[in-house]
Amino acid sequence: MAQINPSILSADFARLAQEAEAVRGSDWLHVDVMDNHFVPNLTLGVPIVESLARATDIPLDCHLMIEDPDRWAPQYVEAGAGSVTFHAEAAAAPVRLAREIRAKGARASMALKPATPIEPYEDLLPELDMLLIMTVEPGFGGQAFLDIMLPKIRRTRELISKHGLELWLQVDGGVSASTIERCAEAGADVFVAGSAVYGAQDPAEAVAKLRSLAEGATAAAGWACAH
């Protein structure tokens, strides 16, 4: 089942509660946390996540593009996030961090930048609930989808299947009506969409359309038939 996670990075930050309501029917609300160190952009932090968690019943999927996630990630669980993603490139002790996130009651996820291969992290996969393949360089919304990430998505799906894991595979960056089917066919089942949702006249309708496209492509994909 395809999951659509609208990214509030593309929403109106002055109206976050209303913007969350505009995508009712979404599976998760994707919250991009950037610190202007790990990535060259600064967004929002724990207080906003706490406020957003109170304002919506859509679960929050927090993507931490920050340095020292080992220190900060647990605070996002405490703030109300249902899923917390840290970057492999930033975490000092990813297994320990994933276990701490899970112990606090959230889903643990790890993200990989485009240039970071999946293979060195194969043994860590059982410690995770989700793996995020970045399909743009993290830091800014509205970037063009990187087609060269499709083979990496396929290899990751093969590793998930090889180990028989119930691991969600998320993609983030340039996901739209023109790219989501390729991602789903390659093996992704959780899709972050920013401008494709919040740039639409009817964000909720855009979510439904993306879900339909993804589920159609998944149904025809070899990996789903074998799953």
| 32 annotated to bind ligand | yes
Q: Has 32 been annotated as catalytic?
A: yes
| 194 annotated to bind ligand | yes
Task: For residue 80, give the 3-state DSSP assignment.
Answer: coil
Q: Has 189 been annotated as catalytic?
A: no
| 195 annotated to bind ligand | yes
What tokens appear for 199 in the block?
């740039």
| 222 annotated to bind ligand | no
The catalytic position among 27, 129, 172, 189 is 172
What tokens appear for 172 in the block?
């983030």
| 63 annotated to bind ligand | yes
DSSP annotation string for 46-78: HHHHHHHHHH-SSPEEEEEE-S-HHHHHHHHHH
Q: Is the separation of the CB atoms in 24 and 58 below 8 Å? A: yes
- Taken in order 106, 107, 110, 114, the sign of the CA dihedral is negative
| 140 annotated to bind ligand | yes
| 142 annotated to bind ligand | yes
In DSSP terms, which residues pair with 112 in a beta bridge? 133
The catalytic position among 27, 32, 35, 61 is 32
Task: Provide the annotated binding site.
Answer: 7, 30, 32, 63, 139-142, 172-174, 194-195
Residues carrying an active site annotation: 32, 172
Task: Provide the annotated binding site for substrate.
Answer: 7, 63, 139-142, 172-174, 194-195
Task: Provide the annotated binding site for a divalent metal cation.
Answer: 30, 32, 63, 172
